[in-house]
Amino acid sequence: MKKETSSVAHLTLNGKTYDLPIMSPTVGPDVLDIRKLYAEANVFTYDPGFTSTAACDSSITYIDGAAGELLHRGYPIDQLAAKSHYLEVCFLLLYGHLPSGSELESFETLVTNHTMIHEQMVNLFRGFRRDAHPMAIMTGVVGAMSAFYHDSTDINDPHQREVASIRLIAKMPTIAAMAYKYTVGQPFIYPRNDLDYSANFLSMCFAVPTQDYLVNPILSRAMDRVFTLHADHEQNASTSTVRLASSSGANPFACIAAGIACLWGPAHGGANQACLQMLNEIGTADRIPGFIARAKDKNDPFRLMGFGHRVYKNTDPRAKVLKESADEVLELLGVENNPILKVAKELEAAALLDPYFAEKKLFPNVDFYSGIILEAIGFPMSMFTPIFALSRTVGWISQWKEMISDPAMKIGRPRQLYCGQTLRNYVDIENR
C-alpha cells in the first residue's frame, strides 16, 4: 500500500540538480526513490549496514523503534502474544487477516497433516556427527528438502508456492526435534496428529518410546508464546538473506536454508544461546559490574548478549512479554528462585542505570529472556537458535511469498565503493 507522492527531494551534484521522488508509507518514515540516480547522475548511495536503506516495500510487519512498537498486519505483538496462538499468527502473516473459525480449522488441519518428513530424509541425519550443532543439521536438512519435494520448487506456480509454504511451516518442528534427538542419541519421535503445534514439538523433543508422554500445558503455552514472539520482524538480516537468495529464483527450501544459516550468527538469532552462556559465565550478581565494564570497553570485543538492537531504541516489546513469561513459567514450575533469572534481572537493572547503555539506547532484546524460558522448558542451549529458526520460518516464508508474487521483483544486485587497485599489467614472475 505504498503511495507515490507528488513531492520530490532535490539533490544537487556537480552543478546539476536531480529530482528524487518521495514515497510515503501507510505509517513510518518517507523514502527517497533513488532507483534512477546511478543512471542519471553516475553516483551510488553508500550504506554498508543498510542503516538508512529501505530494500523493499512490505505490508507484513511494522516496527517503530523509537516507540518500541511491533505490528503484524497491524496487530500489536503484545495483543497477539496474549490473545492469539502461533498457527493463527502464521495465518495472519501469510494471508493478511485474522482467520475465521473455519479458515483457522482448515489451516491447522492442513499443517497437522504435513508434519511428517519423507522417510528417506532420516538418512541425512546419520551423515552428521552426534556432536554436530543442531543448527548445522537444520541448515543441511532444510536445504536438502529441495531434493525430496520437487513438486513444490517452481516459484512461478502459485500453487507450488503455497504447497512449499505449508510444507516448511509444518515440517520445521519435526526437523528441529529430529536434530535434537540425533544429538542426544535418542530415537526420533514421529509427529502426532492429536497434538497442537507446540505440544507436538515438545512431544517430538522429549517423548521416548518406552513410556507415554503427557504434555505439560504450562510448557506448551510458554512454547507457543515463544514461537509467536519470534515469528517475523521486518527486514532483519536473515529475512533479507531469504529475500536476496529468492530474488535469483532459487527454490524456497534453498532460500530458507540460507535464512537459517544467517540467523545462526551471535549478532542475530545466535544471541539467545550466547546470552545464556554469558549469564552462566557471570554466575552471580557481584560479577555484573565487571561484565558491564567489559561491554563498555572499546578495546574489548565483548558485548552484552541479548542487549541492543538496530531498530529498537526503546524497549523491544518482545523482551517485555518474554520477561513476564519467564516469571510466570518459572513460578508455575516452582523454580522462581532460578539464580540465572535473578542475574538476568539484576544485569538488566544495572545496565539500564549505566549512562553508556542509556546514551547508546541499548535495551534487552528478544534474545535476553528467551533462553531462560527455553532452559526452564527443558532445552539445552544448543536448541535455542533452532527454535528461533523454527519460529521465524513463517516470517521468512511470508516475506518470500510477498516478494515472489510482486511482478516488479528484480534480482538483488548491490554495487560498491571500490577501493582496490586501478588497471595494471601482469608481471611475469621473473620480473617481480
Chain contacts with ligand SDX (rule: CB under 6 A): 49, 233, 236, 267-269, 271, 295, 303-311, 360, 362, 365-367
CA neighbours within 13 Å on the CB side: how many for 102? 0
- Closer by beta carbon to ligand SDX, 310 or else 345: 310
Angle, helices 86-95/197-206, rounded to nearest 10 degrees: 120
Task: Supply angle C-alpha 310, 403, 144, rounded to 5.
Answer: 90
Of 311, 309, 321, 282, the closest CA to residue 363 belongs to 309
Least distance from ligand SDX to the Cβ atom of residue 46, Å: 16
Helix (H), strand (E) counts: the chain: 18, 6
Least distance from ligand SDX to the Cβ atom of residue 159, Å: 29
- Closer by beta carbon to ligand SDX, 199 or else 245: 245
Least distance from ligand SDX to the Cβ atom of residue 310, Å: 3
Least distance from ligand SDX to the Cβ atom of residue 62, Å: 12
- Closer by beta carbon to ligand SDX, 180 or else 307: 307
Task: Supply angle C-alpha 74, 76, 79, rounded to 5.
Answer: 130
- Closer by beta carbon to ligand SDX, 192 or else 303: 303
- Closer by beta carbon to ligand SDX, 181 or else 392: 392
Of 416, 418, 414, 419, the closest CA to residue 35 belongs to 414
Least distance from ligand SDX to the Cβ atom of residue 253, Å: 21
- Whether 138 contacts 176, CB under 8 Å: yes
Q: Exposed (0-12), middle (13-18) or buried (19+): which is 65, by Cβ within 10 Å?
A: middle
Q: Which helix (H) or strand (E) holds 24?
A: strand 16-24
309 is catalytic: yes
- Closer by beta carbon to ligand SDX, 170 or else 295: 295
Least distance from ligand SDX to the Cβ atom of residue 361, Å: 8
User: Which residue's beta carbon is nearest to the bound ligand SDX?
Assistant: 308
Which one from 33, 133, 309, 316 is the annotated catalytic residue? 309
CA–CA distance, 421 with 432 (Å, rounded to integer): 17
CA–CA distance, 220 with 196 (Å, rounded to integer): 9
- Closer by beta carbon to ligand SDX, 160 or else 365: 365
- Whether 17 contacts 10, CB under 8 Å: yes
Which one from 33, 232, 316, 367 is the annotated catalytic residue? 367
367 is catalytic: yes
Q: 154-160 contacts: CB < 8 A, separation 24 or more?
A: 155/246, 155/249, 155/251, 155/252, 155/404, 158/405
- Write the DSSP symbol of residue 286: G
Least distance from ligand SDX to the Cβ atom of residue 228, Å: 12
Which residues are 75's β-sheet partners? Answer: 72
Question: What positions carry a catalytic annotation?
Answer: 309, 367
